[in-house]
Amino acid sequence: MNRDASSCNTYDYGDAVYWDARYQQEADSFDWYQRYAALRPFVRKFISTSASVLMVGCGNAVMSEDMINDGYEDIMNVDISSVAVDIMRRKHQFIPQLKYMEMDVRDMSFFPDEKFDAVVDKGTLDALMCGTDASISAAKMLGEVSRLLKPGGVYLLITYGDPKARMPYLMRPSYNWKIALFIIPRPGFQRPEGCNTPEKPYLEPVPLTDNGLLLPSFVIEDPDSHFIYVCRKMDDSDLNNIAPYPLSVDVL
């Protein structure tokens, strides 16, 4: 299974012009893929409420606001669309924990190295993968994410891309990431009646092959599931004990 190119259409999702026009037409808030309630167990498990968080491709989603309401203290939101940034900056002008900047995630040189404890990405890498020069754009963004993460920091990627489509980008040794994969069904998914197989615990990492792929025997109940990659940037203690990629999911 490779859910990547099949999920794209003719729009250039890496183009600010497209997003400016879309946000001008669609004023209501919209969260891609999953709402915070479904993602909260993962966010709370891997990101401290005191962490400095970078939300890449924030759009007009309410996830950052939900995180602040859940106790998070410092979230910098960036988006390529000036329209979205203006909307959200006005909306949250009295919430000092939320900050907004117009920025292309492929070039975040405004921020110094190792600026953030965590980077959250809900659909932004996917958008770049549907744009022109997708591979180059993805590499630029992920390189920036790695640069901005503090040692021990976490890149939380929520995506429709399965390991075959995403692991080749995430597993580059220069990033020094330990990667764990989780899979959750789309909102509203109902297991088929009469299904006798045990329900998978979504908070348990999915076992992967030596190449970072799903085991041949692994069955995804919902074909439209979302994939959550937790990529932790190794610190000095990890680097002294480095192992070949992909690393075991129990080391996070």
Residue 131, burial from CB neighbour count under 10 angstroms (0-12, 13-18, 19+): middle
Going by C-alpha positions, the residue among 38, 90, 32, 41 that lies closest to residue 62 is: 32
Q: Above 80 in pLDDT, residue 132? A: yes
Which is more confidently placed, 226 or 15?
Answer: 226
β-pairing, 177-184 vs 149-159, is unpaired
Residue 6 is predicted with a pLDDT of 46
Give the pLDDT confidence of 139-177 residue by residue, as tens digits: 999 999 999 999 999 999 999 999 999 999 999 999 999
Q: Above 60 in pLDDT, residue 243? A: no
Which is more confidently placed, 130 or 168?
Answer: 168
Residue 188 is predicted with a pLDDT of 76
Q: Extract the tokens encoding 95.
A: 């919430």
User: Residue 210: which pLDDT band, with cuts at 50, 70 and 90?
Assistant: confident
Q: Three-state SS across the chain?
A: CCCCHHHCCCCCCCCHHHHHHHHHHCCCCCCCCCCHHHHHHHHHHHCCCCCEEEEECCCCCCHHHHHHHCCCCEEEEEECCHHHHHHHHHHCCCCCCEEEEECCCCCCCCCCCCCEEEEEEECHHHHHHCCCCHHHHHHHHHHHHHHHEEEEEEEEEEECCCHHHHHHHHCCHHHCEEEEEEEECCCCCCCCCCCCCCCCCCCCCCCECCCCCECCCCCCCCCCCEEEEEEEECCHHHHCCCCCCCCCHHHC
* Arithmetic mean of pLDDT over the chain: 86
Q: What is the largest CA-CA distance in the chain?
A: 54
Give the pLDDT confidence of 20-41 residue by residue, as tens digits: 566 666 666 666 789 999 999 9
Residue 248 is predicted with a pLDDT of 37
